Amino acid sequence: MKCYKCENLGKKLFEFYICDACKKSLRLHQDETITKNAQNLCKEEPKQAYLLDIKKRILKLDEDYISKKIKLLHIKANLEGFDI
Ligand SMILES: [Zn+2]
From first to last of the 84 residues of the chain, give the pLDDT tens digit.
999 999 999 999 999 999 999 999 999 999 999 999 999 999 999 999 999 999 999 999 999 999 999 999 999 999 999 999
* Cα dihedral 9→11→12→16 (10° resolution): -40
pLDDT of 22 reads 98
Whether 56 maps to a domain, the answer reads: yes
Whether 52 maps to a domain, the answer reads: yes
pLDDT of 36 reads 97
Whether 34 maps to a domain, the answer reads: no
CA of 43 to the centre of ligand 1 (A): 38
CA of 26 to the centre of ligand 1 (A): 10
Whether 18 maps to a domain, the answer reads: no
| Ion ligand 1: residues, CB < 5 A | 3, 5-6, 8, 19, 22
Provide the number of structural domains found in the chain.
1
CA of 19 to the centre of ligand 1 (A): 4
C-alpha–C-alpha distance, residues 24 and 29, integer Å: 11
